[in-house]
Amino acid sequence: MTDVDDVGNSLVAFSTADAGTTLRLRDEVGGHEYTLGSSEAVSLEPASPDRFVFPVDAAVSFTTSELVLPTDATTFVRDEQGEHLGQLTDERWSFERGTYYVELSPSPKAYVLVPDASFTGVHPTFGEFGSTPRLEFDEPTRIFVGARSPHERPQATITVPDDPEALATAFSYLGSSIKEWSCERSWPTIRGHPPAIERGEELHVPDVLEKPDTGVTIAVPPTYADLYRVAPLAFYLGADVVPGEEAELRLDLGYTEPLRRPGRTLEESVDRLLARCLLLDSLVRVGGYYSFPRYEYDEVAPHLPFYPPELYERSVGEQLVEYLEVPFDVLEPHVPKWTTTAVLRPRLEDAAVVPPLLDSLSRVHVATGADASAEPGRTLDTAVTAYAGRTPPVGETRLVPAAFENLRGREQSVPAECRFDFFGVGQAAVDAYDRVCNAVDTGHEDGVPTRRRRTRPTREVLRRALGASEFLHFGGDVTDEGFVCADGVLPWADLGSVETTVVSIAGGAGGDGVDAAVSLVESGAAAAVVFDGAVPDETVGRLAGYLRSAFSLAWAAELAADDTPHRLVGDATRSVTSRSGGTTPEVLDFTSVGTDRHRLTYRTEVTEQLELGSVLRPAADFAEGGYYLTGGSVVQSMGLTSAEVVDLFEEGYVVRLNGTVYPSAGELTLETVCRSARRALDETGQRT
């Protein structure tokens, strides 16, 4: 065998170090890497990714007697078919001769294929118990290591001239980042970032990109508007996009489904079909890598004309034929709340934002007419509606392409390391912030993060804060020139590099404040919130508290702003911090159905850690049905008494009772709950 110093491709590469006793795995797209250790020097040989039942981008093989694992990796063992056998811990496990996969979950994700061998494995947490995480083989064994890039950045860039048919060709390659064409692509880690698109003189598709071969074609009139509308579906289905007189889905099985029909717009059809596919794929995949109990499966599967696991090995087209037979009314209550619906303009310059939007599986609509509204029709539930190139309506978002670039490679701070700056507000803002942080359970045992309050900063103080804080509120005047500080105006051009994740300003009504927020995002911020005129200190504090508790800007503003008009700018789905253990923000939404009986809807949010298609298992005793899709709103069958509502509030949940949010300890008492119930029942005429 010949040593190979660097094996892999443009996504994942392997190399050796330390005289061959260290194997380095490198994510070529995102730049992440880690190492595995061997008891002896190894010689790497390229291996086929097809050896693995799991999708990998590249693989190598070598012989070793012992493999040292990353200390901070999560390590699962699976059998030859990929069925889960358990997670390695500090207790040594023995595995009799057979074929196994050992799954490692740092970045890039890796699988160690152990063919026809016996071994023992141990993985103490962070080096506890005096032992190193390792696999020990009973004899020198030839193993295979495959790795998959999380593919958080575009692998390549497609150049497109000002020609809709050229854009159609480019859109046919959007799905080239998806790792496999089974229903497992409903997992976000399987999808990857689509290739970037830029404007140029002629169409150029880099050789590294491969057009998916799923047997699905989307025909659409060759206009920018209709091409944008079908882009999410083209990505998720790996469809070949071709010009056509009518918008329709064509399968190589000979089946055709019209996408624009009487009473339903193209946008509605695409939104519904995308939601249908994601939800049903997430049910069919219980026959695949992860078979744990699912709430949505128990609720939906009995009403389907097929048994979901039986579709697991079927082609995309065969699955679609079955999926289209299901009435959407059966599915809609269980479709997760989508993160973003982007409203683009029917022009080529907006093509560049399509790939980063699809990275989070956003919906894409198109503005039409003088009022720049989207194509008329009923829109499914979405957290954020983001408009390109215009001031958004109150409560909505201005889409800024720079926000996507700003977020790449930026690590989220842990809660205790966050810095929050308040300028031009009273002590009430900080007090409200502290109350929310103390009430919402997000790992505050790590300590309260740094927070500063100043009345009116100098230009230098503000510039330094914009380069260091996770959240900054500026309560002073904002003009076309810049921030009005104690010693003059800090111009937009002199902001320097803005590292603040979220900036909050009282920018005045209409477009002036939005223009200021756009400048902040283009200087490096991820997002901004602009309040129309004066904003109560209490609102500022609550907003910051929810951001500290890992809520996205959009959800934090919804919970905190009450009736204060505001607009968002940039990536409003962004969180400034993350929760320990990969959990997601939760809201308990209660509706009173009696003076001492309240119906609970459990709501979760799609986050950067748990994107669309992910699942979570609530730790709370009241949660029913195992794992839930993130972004879901699950109505619990059990009702709760007023005393039980108060108990849950005191456990650290954000509680919304009959439409009113109670974020702070002491605000929700038994008397408050009963009074709210009586008022709600009187308003609906249920109490006599």
Q: List, for residues 220-241, the tens digit of each pLDDT value.
A: 999 999 999 999 999 999 999 9
Residue 207 lies in a domain: yes
* Distance in angstroms (rounded) separating the CA atoms of residues 564 and 177: 41
Residues 144 and 164 in one domain: no
The residue type at 196 = A
Name the pairing type of β-strands 134-148 and 58-68.
antiparallel
What's the domain range around 604?
583-684
The phi, psi pair for 296, rounded to 5°, reads: -65, -35
Residues 143 and 164 in one domain: no
Residue 235 pLDDT: 98
* Distance in angstroms (rounded) separating the CA atoms of residues 597 and 159: 60
* Distance in angstroms (rounded) separating the CA atoms of residues 113 and 44: 15
Residues 246 and 346 in one domain: yes
Residue 106 pLDDT level (bands cut at 50, 70, 90): confident
Residues 171 and 296 in one domain: yes
**Residue 619 structure tokens:** 């730790």
Residue 3 pLDDT level (bands cut at 50, 70, 90): very low
Residue 396 lies in a domain: no
Nearest to 476 by CA among 506, 454, 504: 506
Residue 123 pLDDT level (bands cut at 50, 70, 90): confident
Query: What's the distance, CA 174 to chain centroid?
Result: 18
Residues 444 and 547 in one domain: yes
Highest mean pLDDT (candidates 19-28, 315-324, 494-503, 655-664): 315-324
Query: What are the C-alpha distances in Å from 221 to residues 103, 325, 342, 378, 579?
Result: 45, 26, 20, 22, 45
- What lies within 8 Å, CB to CB, of 175 at 6+ separation is 194, 212, 214, 234, 235, 236, 237, 238, 239
The phi, psi pair for 669, rounded to 5°, reads: -110, 170
Residue 489 lies in a domain: yes
Residues 125 and 176 in one domain: no
- What lies within 8 Å, CB to CB, of 120 at 6+ separation is 92, 93, 94, 95, 135, 136
DSSP string, 493-542: GG------SEEEEE--STHHHHHHHHHHHHTT-SEEEEESS---HHHHHH
Residues 286 and 191 in one domain: yes
* Distance in angstroms (rounded) separating the CA atoms of residues 543 and 541: 5
Residue 46 lies in a domain: yes
Q: Among 384-388, 591-595, 661-665, where is mean pLDDT lowest?
A: 661-665
Residues 236 and 325 in one domain: yes
Say how many Å lie between the first and final Cα of the chain, rounded: 86
Residue 431 lies in a domain: yes
Residues 372 and 273 in one domain: yes
Helix (H) or strand (E) holding 648: helix 642-650
CA angle 67, 70, 71 (to 5 degrees): 120
DSSP string, 457-505: --HHHHHHHHTT-SEEEE-S-B-SSEEEETTEEEEGGG------SEEEE
In the listed set 129, 148, 167, which residue is the last one of a domain according to the structure?
A: 148
Look at the chain and count its residues: 688
Residue 227 pLDDT: 98
In the listed set 570, 598, 621, which residue is the last one of a domain according to the structure?
A: 570
Residues 302 and 165 in one domain: yes
Q: Among 48-57, 289-298, 442-451, where is mean pLDDT lowest?
A: 442-451
Nearest to 103 by CA among 66, 150, 56: 56
Number of domains present in the structure of the chain: 4
- What lies within 8 Å, CB to CB, of 298 at 6+ separation is 625, 626
412 vs 510, which has greater pLDDT? 412
Residue 263 lies in a domain: yes
- What digits encode the pLDDT tens for the residues 495-542? 888 999 999 998 764 456 899 999 999 999 999 999 988 899 999 999
* Distance in angstroms (rounded) separating the CA atoms of residues 342 and 374: 10
Residue 444 pLDDT level (bands cut at 50, 70, 90): very low
Residue 577 lies in a domain: no
Contact predicate 185/151, CB 8 Å: no
Contact predicate 505/557, CB 8 Å: no
DSSP assigned state of 264:
B
Residue 508 pLDDT: 60
* Distance in angstroms (rounded) separating the CA atoms of residues 135 and 120: 6
Residue 1 pLDDT level (bands cut at 50, 70, 90): very low
**Residue 515 structure tokens:** 């223009």
Contact predicate 336/610, CB 8 Å: no
Q: How many CB atoms lie within 10 A of CB 653?
A: 18
DSSP assigned state of 219:
E
Residues 559 and 435 in one domain: yes
Is the backbone of residue 164 left (phi > 0), alpha (psi -120 to 50) or beta? alpha
Query: What's the distance, CA 594 to chain centroid?
Result: 37
Residue 261 pLDDT: 86
Residues 224 and 85 in one domain: no
Q: How many CA atoms lie within 13 A of 391 on its CB side?
A: 14
Helix (H) or strand (E) holding 14: strand 12-17
Q: Tokens 């219980």 map to which residue?
A: 286
Is the previous residue joined to 293 through a cis bond, with omega within 30 degrees of 0? no
Query: What are the C-alpha distances in Å from 591 to residues 254, 353, 598, 657, 659?
Result: 49, 39, 5, 6, 8
Query: What are the C-alpha distances in Å from 220 to residues 161, 173, 376?
Result: 19, 16, 18
Give mean pLDDT, residues 451-473. Answer: 90
Give mean pLDDT, residues 119-143. Answer: 81
DSSP assigned state of 203:
-
In the listed set 570, 603, 629, which residue is the last one of a domain according to the structure?
A: 570
Name the pairing type of β-strands 248-251 and 216-220.
antiparallel
Residue 351 lies in a domain: yes
**Residue 522 structure tokens:** 């283009």
Q: For residue 448, what is the domain's CATH number?
A: 3.40.50
Q: Is the pLDDT of residue 450 over 70?
A: no
The residue type at 292 = F
